[in-house]
Structure 1
Amino acid sequence: MLGSVRLNVTSAAPGSAQGLYLVVSDIGAAREELAARGVDVSDVFHPETPGAQFQPDGTSGRVSAPAPDHASYSSFATFSDPDGNGWLLQEVTTRLPGRIDAAETVYASAADLASGLRRAAAAHGEHEKRTGEADANWPDWYAEYMVAERAGTELPT
């Protein structure tokens, strides 16, 4: 209802949709933003047993922490919207091949781009540790990393 006008958008009962996904590139930042807006959102977790992400909070099979090394597709947080529909935040840091158009690199927001830059910076720090020297050409390395990450192709090392 909007005021006294009935919209009749769907015949689904409020709260009947469960297991809806919101895919995010930074689970911690997304969780914190929801919590800051007053949403009762679970802690970040990863499933220890298959399907644990679909079970209620407090159920066994969930490990309270992001997936080791923030493995793509493996970290979650849950919440319900005001109608009682159940949502899963899922962190995807590297898309599986074929999941996006490799010719197009798009960031949905400044926060999404900043998150990509942070991941590139962390990976570049590891690259410099391996090579043992500062990389003056870091902008090209960042760009290559960020495009490969979005495309789901092999990341530079």
Structure 2
Amino acid sequence: MFWEKDSVEYEIFKQYERALVSLGVNFSLEDVQMILEACTYDLENALKSTISYILWLRENNKEVFPSQILIRALREQWKPMAWKDEYLELPILESPGQRWWNAAAKTWGYDLRNRLVADVFYDNGTEFIKFTNGKEITVDTAWRWEWERLLKYATNR
């Protein structure tokens, strides 16, 4: 990963990671990793600028190169021109893991989901679900399994 898990940069990155991945940014690319590792200033503004610019490009049917846009935003220290906090709530910016998280609440109920699911996280470009029983599963596999099978997996040690 680019930073220590208890760093300010890591906390900021985690706020925007899912939206950026859903827009097509590939964090496993060496160029993206290098620019992020080197970023010590104005990270949040660059991430917000990247998201809002990609959304604008898509809305206007323009060609989009998400990873290159992020690199440029970090290198040139872009400032967001049209950022809205509501962007992070757009369904288009939900990762498959976020959609699964919401579906789990509808299927199992909030209380059960919150007791069973410890985290939904990325590792090397793959999204995982970590259950409180210590087991992990990819989000893709969780979507393929039926909810009953997944519930048994999440509750058995």
- TM-score in same-fold range (> 0.5): no
Give TM class, smaller chain: under 0.3
**Relative CO higher for 1 or 2, CA cutoff 8 Å, sep ≥ 6?**
1
Decide which structure has greater helix share: 2
Q: Give TM-score scaled by structure 2 length.
A: 0.21
Q: Which has the larger radius of gyration?
A: 1
